[in-house]
Structure 1
Amino acid sequence: MSFISALITVQLDAVRGRLPLLARFTYDSGDPYAVRATFLDGATPLARWHFDRQMLADGLHRPVGEGDVAFRPHGEAGADELRIVLRGPAAQREADAVLFVDARAVEDFLHQTYAVTGAGEEFLDVDTLLDALLAR
């Protein structure tokens, strides 16, 4: 199993402008379809989200996502960014967050993940997973 990790600066869209945060993006070949993002304030985790790796990659080029997570390319003042919308529970829309991430940083991270598990080469052993779940 291989593990990829990258610390990437993200910008939280806030009422008074953008606030910089750090996010640790991780990829584990044992779960080849997922990318995990932990958003940090210093060393303190603020939130953890799991993204579909292909959806993250597609979001660099076109709008994707309709549920809790949406991605789309965003350009402002010549900067190429990925806009990420994270939605909280429907009853708590104030929990929604809009983040902007440098597209090149996301592309570099994804390039590393594809070096481990190429697009279309993902495999999840469902039988072993079911055996483990049923054994509990």
Structure 2
Amino acid sequence: MPAVIEQSVQARLVASAPRMETVPATLRYDRKDPYAVSMAFPPPATLEGVEVSWAFARELLVQGVERPAGVGDVRLRPYGYDRTVVEFHAPEGVAMVHVRTSELRHFLARSEHLVPAGSERDHLNWDQDLTELLRERP
């Protein structure tokens, strides 16, 4: 069984222009970091021209496809019948994308198959994490 799940999705960038631009994004889930998911955007899709990745709680994604969730840098909420709005808040501003809810649910089901909800702590390597934390840095 793989330790990492990646899934490409099409995100529609919400802008002040009447037409929304579609940009590629990649959802990622790693069994080594079982509480988190990430959403990455390739360089052509970002203002900085570099890949941008946002990490947030898997549980936030679970909640956000059902109801408004999040109060920090990443917020989600259902939009209409088949979309979920994902908001990314940074000092430079706010970026909002629409993603098909079915794609998010499929990704969540795959991550749940890899690490069932409630069993995340069983996939943490406490000894290795503590060793890395206590290791002297140059």
TM-score of the superposed pair, with normalisation by structure 2? 0.85
Q: Aligned pair 1:132/2:137, yes or no?
A: no
Q: What secondary structure sits across from 2:82 in the alignment?
A: strand
Hey, what's the Cα distance between the residues in 1 that align with 2:115 and 2:23? 28
Q: Which runs of 5+ in 1 are unaligned?
A: none
Aligned to 2:3: 2
User: Alpha-carbon deviations, 1:44-72, whole Å to 9, x = none?
Assistant: 65421002101101100011111111001
Instruction: Quote how far apart the aligned CAs of 1:127 are.
Output: 4.1
Aligned to 2:117: 119
Hey, what's the Cα distance between the residues in 2 that align with 1:101 and 1:45? 21
Q: What secondary structure sits across from 1:26 in the alignment?
A: strand
User: Alpha-carbon deviations, 1:64-83, whole Å to 9, x = none?
Assistant: 111111001110xxx41110
1:38/1:45 contact within 8 Å kept? no
Q: Aligned pair 1:47/2:47, yes or no?
A: no
Amino acid at match of 1:62: R
Aligned to 1:64: 69
- Provide the aligned length of Structure 1 versus Structure 2: 128
Instruction: Quote how far apart the aligned CAs of 1:130 are.
Output: 2.0
Amino acid at match of 2:79: H
Amino acid at match of 2:15: A
1:34/1:50 contact within 8 Å kept? yes
TM-score of the superposed pair, with normalisation by structure 1? 0.87
- Structure with the higher strand share, 1 or 2: 1
Q: Which runs of 5+ in 2 are unaligned?
A: none
Aligned to 2:38: 36
Hey, what's the Cα distance between the residues in 2 that align with 1:13 and 1:69? 15
Q: What secondary structure sits across from 1:114 in the alignment?
A: helix
Hey, what's the Cα distance between the residues in 1 that align with 2:94 and 2:126? 33
Q: What secondary structure sits across from 1:22 in the alignment?
A: strand
Q: Aligned pair 1:97/2:99, yes or no?
A: no
Runs of 4+ in 1 over 3 A off after TM superposition: none
Hey, what's the Cα distance between the residues in 2 that align with 1:130 and 1:18? 45
Hey, what's the Cα distance between the residues in 2 that align with 1:117 and 1:29? 7
